[in-house]
Amino acid sequence: MFGLVPFIILFPALGAVLNLTCGQWMRERGVGIVACVASVLSFAVAVALFAALLDQPDGLVIELGRWIQVAPVQIAWALRVDTLSVTMMLLVTGVGTIIHIYAAGYMRGDPRYTAFFVYLNLFLVAMLTLVAADNFVMLFAGWEGVGLCSFLLIGFWFDKPDGEGWRNSSAARKAFLVNRVGDAGFILALLMIGTLFGSFSFDTVFEQAPLRLSVGSPMVVLLTLLLTMGAAAKSAQIPLFVWLPEAMAGPTPVSALIHAATMVTAGIYLVARSQVLFALAPFTQDVIVMMGALTALLAAGAAVAQFDIKRVLAYSTISQLGFMMVAAGMGAYGAALFHLLTHAFFKALLFLGAGSVVHALGHGGDMRTMGGLRTRLPFTYATFVIGALSLAGLPPLAGFFSKDEILSHAWVFRPAVFLLLSSAAFLTAFYIGRQIMLVFFGTARSEPAAAAVESPRILVLPLIVLALLSTIGGAINLPGSESFGAWLHHTIAESETVAFQPAAAGLSLALSLCGLLLAYAVYGRHPLEAGSPDPLAVRLGGWFGLMGRGWGLNDFYQRVLVRGFDRIGGGLARADERVFRGLDVRIVAGVRRVGGWVAPMETHQFNWNVVAILGGLALVLIVTLWMGGR
């Protein structure tokens, strides 16, 4: 059974190639079917692997071939089947399939329909390579691959008129650039791994690490910090989260699949995968916990002040990724991955719901132009509310259990972090309540909103499936049974677990309810009128604007880094102008002049030629006799 694992990557690759080569002769329907079937087959493989793992939970490494061989280091194309990788495979292919089907409807009529599905399948290839990799270099290859696909898909509508296309493509470039900052860290970490262990394979590195590196030694701290840098960029943590809100420029299925459910969790996956290394570096773990907690709180705050329906969700994603980072940093990998799973369900649901709203309205996602959609889009409304309540953490929805596990850990081990996270949970409930009030309640604040009709079935069906998953997803790791933790235990031996903390759960539940009630108090009792300002903006004043701009981090980068680089670049350009301009021409002129010195050898005076010959002979004779036949 484990031998099937290459096919999980092969199917989407085949789909991409098929659509790339033959897509132009197929109708939209055909292209969509090819892409979806590829994804479904991939999911089937994942299920088969899961079934096989149930019998033999220790997994296996399947080596496909050699890849890079540089004297001491051998890097193989090897795929790893263990509980961690298969969990990710199930997630990626499962949610991937649902979103493929959704996208087949959502993208209908787009002139570059085929290209979209080629990219989407390609993303699956890269993401599955990432999670199935058996060594850091292959993981990095997938890491870069998903980055590329993310770039291509964020900027997918680069050709929209009126400067929108330009905004889309610059959002794509920004995502790519910010991720490159993290990649720089990752690459350095790769080099360190290669130097320290002489191998990139997970088994070797994780076996050698505790033997060669002592706990808290500077090398391992540096190594893990560099890895964290890569993870922070990909998983949009402070200080590198600025790209994710802008990444919402991509089509909504892309936001759901790549920027909520799968790719952005790669950072969490990396930390969980390399937990042996992180366990050796308590300092880095502290850094990760602080980074995650701050991100969770600040991003939740930023989400409060957004008007774009997708941007709220983007900041919400950042905030939830912060939760996962905290869990990973505390060593509670089970909790981190549990939340990763449930978050993938309810966040994909929320994104697809938002996409359905945008689709029904037929224009951009400003929530001030919506309102009253509860009756017009009943299915979307119902499923969106399920997703929202799951996000807010109300029992018995999936989000409650996973978030509660993280909070319990913090309650036991890090009370300060618990404070930050529970505040974030309060804000989470508030912003998602605000969103529901603004979008679905009140009265329609624009004509399209007043005339909206429910989206077609192909869009609604995935919502229902995801709503189901968001409802019952918590069952995989209920307090007391902890089946998911036991399942992961085969791969991650040293995952921390704590018992269910009723006090923490009660407190967080109370805070969530408060958040929802506050949202109702502010936005529900007096629904927003068209053209009137946001009531919160009135009360918070300048803070509201600052939060809306993501606490101004973006402006800070713009002002300090971008402008700073501009200055340095300008200075260098001027220096170049003054010093180096024409240097090449001068060098050539110099060479020509030197050539001129030897040119007189070329004479038509035959006598001189003979002199040259005899001179040469004399020279050769002198050397010969001087060296004397040695």
Binding residues for other proteins (CB under 8 A) = 588, 591-592, 594-596, 598-599, 601-604, 606, 609-610, 612-613, 615-617, 620-621, 623-625, 627-630
Q: Which of 579/625 has CB closer to other proteins?
A: 625
Residue 364's alpha-carbon distances to 84, 105, 247, 533, in angstroms, are: 38, 18, 15, 19
Report in angstroms how near the CB of residue 597 gets to other proteins at its nearest: 8
For residue 545, the surrounding DSSP H or E stretch is helix 542-548
Cα 610 from Cα 616, distance rounded (Å)? 10
Whether residue 333 contacts residue 492, with contact meaning beta carbons closer than 8 Å, is answered with yes
Q: Which of 217/624 has CB closer to other proteins?
A: 624
Q: Which of 560/594 has CB closer to other proteins?
A: 594
Cα 102 from Cα 600, distance rounded (Å)? 79
589 contacts: CB under 8 Å, gap ≥ 6: none
Coil/strand/helix, residue 201: strand
Q: DSSP for 59-125?
A: -EEEEEEEEEEETTEEEEEEEEESHHHHHHHHHHHHHHHHHHHHHHHHTTT-TTHHHHHHHHHHHHH
Q: Which of 27/592 has CB closer to other proteins?
A: 592
Report in angstroms how near the CB of residue 603 gets to other proteins at its nearest: 7
Report in angstroms how near the CB of residue 75 gets to other proteins at its nearest: 24
Q: Which of 25/606 has CB closer to other proteins?
A: 606
What's the sign of the alpha-carbon dihedral 244, 248, 251, 254? Answer: positive
Cα 503 from Cα 453, distance rounded (Å)? 44
Whether residue 215 contacts residue 280, with contact meaning beta carbons closer than 8 Å, is answered with yes
Q: Which of 362/628 has CB closer to other proteins?
A: 628
Q: Which of 56/603 has CB closer to other proteins?
A: 603
Report in angstroms how near the CB of residue 598 gets to other proteins at its nearest: 6
Report in angstroms how near the CB of residue 309 gets to other proteins at its nearest: 53
Report in angstroms how near the CB of residue 622 gets to other proteins at its nearest: 9
Q: Which of 362/629 has CB closer to other proteins?
A: 629
Cα 171 from Cα 154, distance rounded (Å)? 7
Cα 514 from Cα 600, distance rounded (Å)? 95
Report in angstroms how near the CB of residue 66 gets to other proteins at its nearest: 23
Whether residue 361 contacts residue 434, with contact meaning beta carbons closer than 8 Å, is answered with no
Cis peptide before 239 (omega within 30 of 0): yes
Report in angstroms how near the CB of residue 103 gets to other proteins at its nearest: 42
Report in angstroms how near the CB of residue 246 gets to other proteins at its nearest: 41
Coil/strand/helix, residue 134: coil
Dihedral angle at the C-alpha atoms of 140, 141, 146, 148, nearest 10 degrees? 120
270 contacts: CB under 8 Å, gap ≥ 6: 139, 143, 227, 230, 231, 234
Q: DSSP for 168-198?
A: HHHHHHHHHHHHHHHHHHHHHHHHHHHHHHS
Q: Which of 562/618 has CB closer to other proteins?
A: 618
Specify burial of residue 481 (Cβ count, 10 A radius: 0-12, 13-18, 19+). exposed
Cα 131 from Cα 604, distance rounded (Å)? 75
Q: Which of 161/596 has CB closer to other proteins?
A: 596
Quick one: tokens of 217?
């030694």
Quick one: tokens of 504?
């923490």
Q: Across-strand partners of 61? A: 80
Q: DSSP for 491-525?
A: T-TT-------HHHHHHHHHHHHHHHHHHIIIIIS
Report in angstroms how near the CB of residue 613 gets to other proteins at its nearest: 5
DSSP 261: I
Specify burial of residue 616 (Cβ count, 10 A radius: 0-12, 13-18, 19+). exposed
Q: Which of 542/628 has CB closer to other proteins?
A: 628
Q: Which of 109/600 has CB closer to other proteins?
A: 600
Report in angstroms how near the CB of residue 582 gets to other proteins at its nearest: 15
Report in angstroms how near the CB of residue 589 gets to other proteins at its nearest: 10
Q: Which of 215/599 has CB closer to other proteins?
A: 599
Q: Which of 64/594 has CB closer to other proteins?
A: 594
Report in angstroms how near the CB of residue 616 gets to other proteins at its nearest: 5
Q: Which of 569/615 has CB closer to other proteins?
A: 615
Q: Which of 56/624 has CB closer to other proteins?
A: 624
Cis peptide before 12 (omega within 30 of 0): no
Coil/strand/helix, residue 56: coil
Residue 400's alpha-carbon distances to 123, 389, 441, 506, in angstroms, are: 30, 9, 24, 11
Report in angstroms how near the CB of residue 72 gets to other proteins at its nearest: 21
Report in angstroms how near the CB of residue 247 gets to other proteins at its nearest: 39
Quick one: tokens of 130?
């990432």
For residue 378, the surrounding DSSP H or E stretch is helix 378-392
Report in angstroms how near the CB of residue 602 gets to other proteins at its nearest: 6
